[in-house]
Amino acid sequence: MLLLLLPPFEHTRLQIVSSIVDPLKAFHLDKLSDEDCLSIFTRHALKARNFDGHLQFKEIGEKIVRRCNGLPMAAKAIGSLLRTVKYREWENIYESEIWNLPEEQCGIIPSLRLSYHHLPSCLKQCFAYCSIFPKDYEFKEEEMILLWRAEGFLQQKAKLRTKDLGKQYFEDLVLRLFFQKSSKDESRFVMHDLINDLAQVVAGEIFSKLKGDRHQFSNRTRHSSYIVGRFCTVKKFEAFNQVKSLRTFLPLQLSRYCRAFLANTVLVDLFPRFGYLRVLSLSGYATTELPDVFENFKYLCYLNFSDTDIKCLPDSLCTLYHLETVGDEEEQRKKTQNNEARCKKYFYLLTNVQQGSLWLIAYFSHSFN
Class of CATH domain 212-363 = alpha beta
Q: What is the C-alpha to C-alpha distance for residues 165 and 145, in angstroms, rounded to an integer?
A: 9
pLDDT tens figures, 60-91: 999 999 999 898 999 999 999 999 888 889 99
> How buried is 293 (Cβ within 10 angstroms: 0-12 exposed, 13-18 middle, 19+ buried)?
middle
Share above pLDDT 90 across residues of the chain, in percent, rounded to a whole number: 43
Q: What is the C-alpha to C-alpha distance for residues 108 and 199, in angstroms, rounded to an integer?
A: 10
* Residues forming beta bridges with residue 231, ordered by sequence position: 261
Q: Where are the domains of the chain?
A: 31-108, 121-196, 212-363
- Quick one: pLDDT at residue 19? 41
Beta strands in 72-206 (DSSP E): 180-181, 189-190
pLDDT tens figures, 230-273: 888 888 888 888 888 999 999 998 776 677 888 888 888 888 88
pLDDT tier for residue 116 given thresholds of 50, 70 and 90: very high
| SS3 at position 3 | strand
Class of CATH domain 31-108 = mainly alpha
User: Which whole number is the average pLDDT over 100-120?
Assistant: 86
- Quick one: pLDDT at residue 273? 87
pLDDT tier for residue 106 given thresholds of 50, 70 and 90: low
Whose CA is closest to 200, among 225, 176, 219, 182? 225
pLDDT tens figures, 176-186: 999 999 999 99
Class of CATH domain 121-196 = mainly alpha
Compute the Cα dihedral for 7, 10, 16, 21 and give only its sign: negative
Residues 6+ apart with CB under 8 A from 23: 1, 2
Q: What is the C-alpha to C-alpha distance for residues 3 and 23, in angstroms, rounded to an integer?
A: 9
Whose CA is closest to 157, among 211, 209, 120, 210? 120
- Quick one: pLDDT at residue 199? 95
Q: What is the C-alpha to C-alpha distance for residues 254 and 58, in angstroms, rounded to an integer?
A: 45
Residue 121 has pLDDT above 70, yes or no: yes
- Quick one: pLDDT at residue 258? 73
